[in-house]
Amino acid sequence: FSFGTNDLTQMTFGYSRDDAGTFLPSYVSDGILPCDPFEVLDATGVGKLIQMAVEAGRATKPNLKIGICGEHGGEAQSIKFISQFGFNYVSCSPFRVPIARLACAQAEIAKKKK
């Protein structure tokens, strides 16, 4: 499975990224949302859908490779969240690769400390 998190976010919230910039900043500033869900993966909604899909997929095929692609693949908090599901890879834009590598390493170190 490769989760396109930008598209999944759009479909979960019913927002178009093309016009979300006109209202999401006020949603965040008014406390309706904790942050822009296109910047940081929404753990409660989108994250729950990802978790359900991973669990169902791995119940059928235990060695199923799982990954995310999109801007969330290069965002540290999002990587930390998805690491709990045993993801195999993240894919992101080139300028986010250093952040993604560091966040993946930190997530693995944190798992080993537990």
pLDDT in tens, 39-77: 999 999 999 999 999 999 999 999 999 999 988 999 999
Q: How many CA atoms lie within 13 A of 37 on its CB side?
A: 25
What average pLDDT does this structure show over 99-112? 92
CA pair distance 71, 112, nearest whole angstrom:
26
Which tokens sit at 52? 């359900």
Q: Are 54 and 85 in contact (CB under 8 A)?
A: yes
With a threshold of 0.85, does the pTM exceed it? yes
- pLDDT recorded at residue 17: 86
Query: Which residue is listed with tokens 């979960």?
Result: 12
pLDDT in tens, 76-103: 999 999 999 999 999 999 999 999 999 9
